[in-house]
Amino acid sequence: MNLLTVTTYNNKLYKAYAHRFHTTYNWPFKLKIYNEDTDMYAQIPELKKFVDRNKDRYKYTSYEEKNNDYRRDGVRFSYKVYAYTHEILQASNAYNGIICIDADSVFHKPIDGDWFYKHIHRDDCMMTYLGRPGYSECGFLYFNMSHPQTKNYAREMQKMYNEDLIYNEKEQHDSWIWDVVRKRFEANGVKNYNIGDGQEGHVQARSVLGPIYDHTKGRRKLTGQSPERIV
């Protein structure tokens, strides 16, 4: 399989944790990085428009208050949505699939296209995701670029942000919005592949991806590892 891995971060986050992504990335697939401090606004003008419209939508009295209110923070998570959907819409037809993965990831076991085809890709599914109660874990998403609805899904995701429709939803973080749009497609007959175990918490660490890489989300970044990870 010819696959592309995509991630996004800014310079501050690179120093804090994304450098681990770079030093441990051992997959044979081409890596595309969107730097939020340099080229993203030029590449994706609609992202800047969205950020400018909504960066002051909510007033916070402290950084801690803002950081804890992630469920409403559509701007914070909009960069990855625009990066991933932009790549899906402009990617070469040579790619069989696009892997979208958060930059707070640490890689352990190398894999190849055969492993990915066996465990992640499904010919009849538009995307593969880590489902769990409430909302999915969207630090990992896989898109089948041969599926006829994949680019339409990316367009609908962009529409949610371009038209500020995310603010009509119960929550505005990206995991909620990916799920909202995915379920709309499923209601129209599109199949997707859920590799989650149906339990709450750190579903990626317990999945087939757990031995392969570690999504060190939240306070796990402080140690660079997840205690829940299955080795």
Residue 217: predicted pLDDT: 73
Residue 94: predicted pLDDT: 85
User: Which residue from 202, 163, 156 is spatially nearest to 179, judged by alpha carbons?
Assistant: 156
Global pTM reads 0.92
In this predicted structure, which of 65-69, 73-77, 123-127, 193-197 has the lowest mean pLDDT?
Answer: 65-69
Residue 70's CB is within 10 A of a number of other CB atoms, namely 15
- The CATH number of 3-222 is which of 3.90.550, 1.10.540, 3.30.530, 1.10.10? 3.90.550
Reply yes or no on whether the pLDDT at 63 is more than 70. no
Mean pLDDT of the chain: 91
Structure tokens at 18: 């994304």
Using one digit for the tens of pLDDT, what is the confidence trace for 158-189?
Answer: 999 999 999 999 999 999 999 999 999 999 99
Q: Check: CB of residue 63 under 8 Å from CB of residue 73.
A: no
Query: What are the sequence ranges of the domains in the chain?
Result: 3-222
Q: Check: CB of residue 124 under 8 Å from CB of residue 189.
A: no
CA distances (Å), 178 to each of 113, 130, 149, 161, in order?
25, 11, 15, 11
What is the average pLDDT across 62-81?
Answer: 79
Going by pLDDT thresholds of 50, 70 and 90, the confidence category of residue 58 is confident
Region of 109 on the Ramachandran plot (φ > 0 left; ψ -120 to 50 alpha; else beta): beta
Reply yes or no on whether the pLDDT at 10 is more than 80. yes
What is the average pLDDT across 46-70?
Answer: 79
What is the average pLDDT across 189-209?
Answer: 94
Q: Check: CB of residue 138 under 8 Å from CB of residue 129.
A: yes
Q: Check: CB of residue 99 under 8 Å from CB of residue 25.
A: no
Say what percent of the chain tops pLDDT 90.
78
